[in-house]
Amino acid sequence: MFSWYHQSALTIVHLADVSSLSAGALSSSVWFQRGWTLQELLAPCTVLFYTQDWSLYMNCTAPNHKEDAIIVKELAQATGISSDNLTNFHASMDDARSKLQWAASRHTTRPEDNAYSLFGIFNLHLPVLYGEGKEKSLGRLLQEILSQSRNISILHWVGEQSSSHSCFPANISSYQPLPCVQPYLTNVAIQRSMSRLQRLVSIDDAQNMYGNFINLPGARFANRTLTLPCIIHHVQAVKLRQTHRSKHTYEVQAAGLRPVQIISQEELEETTELTEFPYVLIRPWDRKLIDYSEKDRVMAGYKALMQLEQPFMALMLLRLPEGEYKRICASHFIVARTDNPASVVNSEVVTVDIV
């Protein structure tokens, strides 16, 4: 269906619940809350919006409303989609999490359609199996995204956990906007940070750290198991701070990290007599953290170090008796930060199997 819209000469959108021709009325339409209309918005090159009485929206007589700056700005505000994606969208795996976020507040009559309506947007060709349920349909979509793109950004969600895999959400609505984790660094700030790191970290340490990361493989999903390269931080202490409406707030201390607050409906083990906690905090490995175009391995190491000491989105895992891991479901995004550059240099890089 995506291809059908993309190849159309003109797509006409009749907004039966919009009677006003004034700017700002567009976002009130239920059309922006439906799952299938996302591809109707993105796929066509040429779109005209009509109001309830079949008048052109805003009396805009442009041959393509995607070329009208005022309408495009209003569409961006209504959908959270950038103007560039609205006017020049290409179906692909790129920026996968953003696409899931665009669909998070949309609804479909059939529960499986929340996932099926995105197949074309990701340029995927998967079977449509009505009756499998929303969790399985969403799980199949996420598995395919991971298998083909190895894009770990789709692991960052909050809400109910899927019964099919602990790293997948039960609902697409779990893909809420991410918190602003990494600050914007100006060129001056980058130069200062690099100078500071070069004073604190030796050339050998920077090179060795870079060597640990350069050949790390991407994530892969097979046989219901997510194999995930990551930086692992072993949990050393868990303290319950409060419980409110079945949600527990914990302060978690992990090796190499500043204390982290975690809110979860799951009850975590607090016993201090344990020689080793069964929990870890991990930073899923993202190849974007390495500048592969940098020929100087020393400079590449310092650049990676600068990236790795910034705050990041962490996952908390429970180690199972068989040696595999299960994700602890959190009610909010877990934002972690390293103690100091030395803790980054001494990072433990592993590959974990999550079920």
- Residue 272 pLDDT class (50, 70, 90 cuts): low
Q: What is the pLDDT of residues 114-142, one digit of tens each?
A: 999 999 999 999 999 999 999 999 999 99
Q: Identify the burial level of 66 via C-beta atoms within 10 angstroms of its C-beta, where 0-12 means exposed, 13-18 middle and 19 or more buried.
A: buried
Q: Are 353 and 221 in contact (CB under 8 A)?
A: no
75 or 290, which is more confident: 75
Q: Are 121 and 91 in contact (CB under 8 A)?
A: yes
CA dist 239 → 148, 235, 243, 253, 271 (Å): 39, 11, 12, 9, 9
- Whole-prediction pTM: 0.92
Task: Tell me how crowded residue 246 is: count the other CB atoms within 10 A of its CB.
Answer: 7
**Does position 277 have pLDDT exceeding 90, yes or no?**
no
What b/e readout covers 104-115, taking b as 16+ CB neighbours within 10 angstroms? bebebeebbbbb
Q: What is the pLDDT of residues 3-27, one digit of tens each?
A: 999 999 999 999 999 988 788 888 8
Q: What is the pLDDT of residues 202-259, one digit of tens each?
A: 999 998 888 888 889 999 999 999 999 999 999 999 999 999 989 999 999 999 999 9
Q: What is the pLDDT of residues 140-192, one digit of tens each?
A: 999 999 999 999 999 999 999 999 999 999 999 999 999 877 777 788 888 89
How far is the C-alpha of 64 from the C-alpha of 3, rounded, in Å?
19
Please provide the DSSP assignment of 142-169 as one string: HHHHHHHH--GGGG---SPBPSS-TTSB
Mean pLDDT, to the nearest integer, of 34-53? 96
How far is the C-alpha of 317 from the C-alpha of 280, rounded, in Å?
5
Distance, first Cα to last Cα, the chain: 33
How far is the C-alpha of 282 from the C-alpha of 232, rounded, in Å?
5
Assigned token pair, 233: 């931080």
E strands along 84-223, which residues? Answer: 220-222
Mean pLDDT, rounded, of the chain: 93
How far is the C-alpha of 343 from the C-alpha of 340, rounded, in Å?
6
Assigned token pair, 102: 């665009």
How far is the C-alpha of 287 from the C-alpha of 309, rounded, in Å?
15
Residues in the chain: 355
Q: Find, among 105, 73, 99, 104, the residue nearest to 87 by Cα.
A: 73
